[in-house]
């Protein structure tokens, strides 16, 4: 399978989306800005943020600087952001998104997601995303953290089928029922926390594979995502890791080893997907905004 850092998947509306990107969850603005600049330097084409992370200004700054430092144009980079839970609803989403664009220093995003399925609101939020899409301010629209029940409900009212469902996905959390539903409905799966927040990196079976292929455990996991055509957005704040996570194109996992990782799924179900209820307290957003001190 020939893959490289420019490899893409074609979404259900014909837009091409890079298979590998960088995420910035839990990074404050300054750190996110630096990470984005390193990512662009090392050839990433996909950057993923969210209002809920409190770092869109940092990402916008990093993007503007990174484009100029590397002789890139805005259209060379695929930028994703998400609608904050507290902004869900029709008018509130439209208002919030305009501000998000300003913070990101751009006039469009490549992908706009509903961050979480806030009960009683996500169908209205989706109507706003459809309007944003039809106006060309988002090249594709999708969702995040939607289980099969929420996806089914959304599809029953939607005019546009979500292009992407971004969810927690890594070797120990494979959410097979959601993946199957997405495949059947032409919705691309995207993995947040593809390294399990770092916790999967010491898994003994993956460590064995790392020794076999002479790669790091992070590289084994990301290569597995690429071979399964799952978009992955590992987060790192270190240039060494940001670079290392791109160095996954000079080897190929055998079918048996892909299957070995497939079988690591513990089938545990995150409570988020079944019972998510917005409580009005976004994790970390105030702290990260307060850390911006330029």
Among 148, 201, 264, 289, binds ligand A2P (CB under 6 A): 201
- For residues 165 and 217, which CB has a smaller minimum distance to ligand A2P in the complex? 217
Candidates 82-90, 118-126, 158-166, 238-246; binding stretch for ligand A2P (CB under 6 A): 238-246
Burial call 85-107: b when 16+ CB within 10 Å, e when fewer: bbbbbbebbbebbeebbebbbbe
Question: What is the C-alpha radius of gyration for the chain, rounded to an integer number of angstroms?
Answer: 18
Asked whether position 31 contacts ligand A2P by CB under 6 A, the answer is no
Close Cβ partners of 255 (under 8 Å, ≥ 6 residues apart)? none
Contacts of 131 (CB under 8 A, 6+ apart): 94
Sign of the CA dihedral with 113 first, then 4, 25, and 294 last: negative
By CB under 6 A, residue 218 contacts ligand A2P: yes
The residue from 44, 53, 122, 241 that is catalytic is 53
* Stretch touching ligand A2P by CB under 6 A, among 135-143, 179-187, 241-249, 275-283: 241-249
DSSP string, 172-239: TB--HHHHHHHHHTT-EEEEESTTGGGGGGG-HHHHHHHHHHTS-HHHHHHHHHHHTT-EE--B-S-H
**143: number of Cβ within 10 Å:** 27
Q: Catalytic: 53?
A: yes
Nearest CB to ligand A2P, comparing residues 143 and 210: 210
Contact flag: residue 234 with ligand A2P (CB under 6 A): yes
Rounded to 5°, the CA angle 224-271-171 comes to: 15
Work out whether 284 is an interface residue with ligand A2P (CB under 6 A).
Answer: no
Which one of residues 116, 122, 224, 241 is an interface residue with ligand A2P (CB under 6 A)? Answer: 241
State which of residues 34, 55, 236, 246 lies at the interface with ligand A2P (CB under 6 A): 236
> Measured from the CB of residue 167, what is the shortest distance to ligand A2P in angstroms?
13
CB 147, min distance to ligand A2P, A = 20
Q: Site for ligand A2P (CB under 6 A): which residue of 15, 92, 185, 196?
A: 196
Sign of the CA dihedral with 169 first, then 171, 174, and 176 last: positive
Question: What sign does the CA torsion over 48, 16, 100, 86 have?
Answer: negative
Q: Does 274 bind ligand A2P (CB under 6 A)?
A: no
Q: Does residue 193 interact with ligand A2P by CB under 6 A?
A: yes
Q: Which among 88-96, 115-123, 195-203, 254-262 is the span making contact with ligand A2P, rule CB under 6 A?
A: 195-203
Distance between CA 233 and CA 43 in Å, rounded? 14
Query: Least distance (Å) from ligand A2P to the CB of residue 78?
Result: 17
**Residue 133 or residue 224: which is nearer to ligand A2P going by CB?**
224
Residues in the chain: 294
In the bound state with ligand A2P, the residue whose beta carbon lies nearer, of 125 and 166, is 166
User: Is 52 near ligand A2P (CB under 6 A)?
Assistant: no
Question: Under DSSP, is residue 165 helix (H, G, I), strand (E, B) or coil?
Answer: strand
Residues engaged in binding ligand A2P (CB under 6 A)? 23, 193-198, 201, 216, 218, 234-238, 241, 244-245
**Residues labelled as active-site residues:** 53
């Amino acid at each position: 399978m020939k893959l490289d850092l420019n490899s893409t998947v074609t979404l259900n509306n014909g837009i091409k989306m890079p298979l590998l990107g960088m995420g910035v969850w839990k990074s404050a603005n300054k750190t996110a800005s630096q990470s984005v600049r390193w990512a662009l330097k090392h050839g990433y084409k996909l950057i993923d943020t969210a209002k809920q992370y409190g770092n869109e200004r940092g990402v916008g700054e990093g993007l503007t600087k990174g484009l100029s430092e590397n002789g890139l144009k805005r259209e060379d980079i695929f930028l994703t952001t998400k609608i904050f839970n507290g902004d869900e609803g029709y008018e509130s989403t439209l208002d919030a998104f305009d501000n998000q664009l300003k913070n990101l220093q751009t006039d469009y995003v490549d992908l706009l997601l509903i961050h979480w399925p806030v009960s009683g609101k996500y169908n209205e939020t989706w109507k706003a995303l459809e309007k944003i899409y039809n106006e060309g301010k988002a090249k594709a629209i999708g969702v995040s953290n939607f289980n099969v029940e929420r996806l089914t409900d959304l599809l029953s009212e939607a005019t546009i089928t979500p292009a992407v469902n971004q969810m927690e996905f890594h070797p120990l959390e494979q959410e097979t029922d959601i993946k199957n539903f997405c495949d059947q409905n032409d919705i691309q799966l995207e993995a947040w926390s593809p390294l399990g927040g770092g916790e999967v990196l010491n898994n003994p079976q993956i460590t064995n594979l790392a020794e076999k292929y002479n790669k790091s455990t992070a590289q084994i996991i990301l290569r597995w995502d690429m071979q399964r055509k799952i978009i992955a957005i590992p987060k790192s704040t270190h240039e060494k890791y940001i670079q290392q996570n791109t160095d996954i194109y000079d080897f190929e996992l055998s079918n048996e080893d892909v299957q070995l990782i497939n079988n690591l799924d513990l089938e545990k179900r995150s409570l988020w997907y079944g019972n998510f209820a917005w409580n009005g307290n976004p994790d970390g957003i105030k702290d990260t905004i307060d850390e911006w001190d330029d």
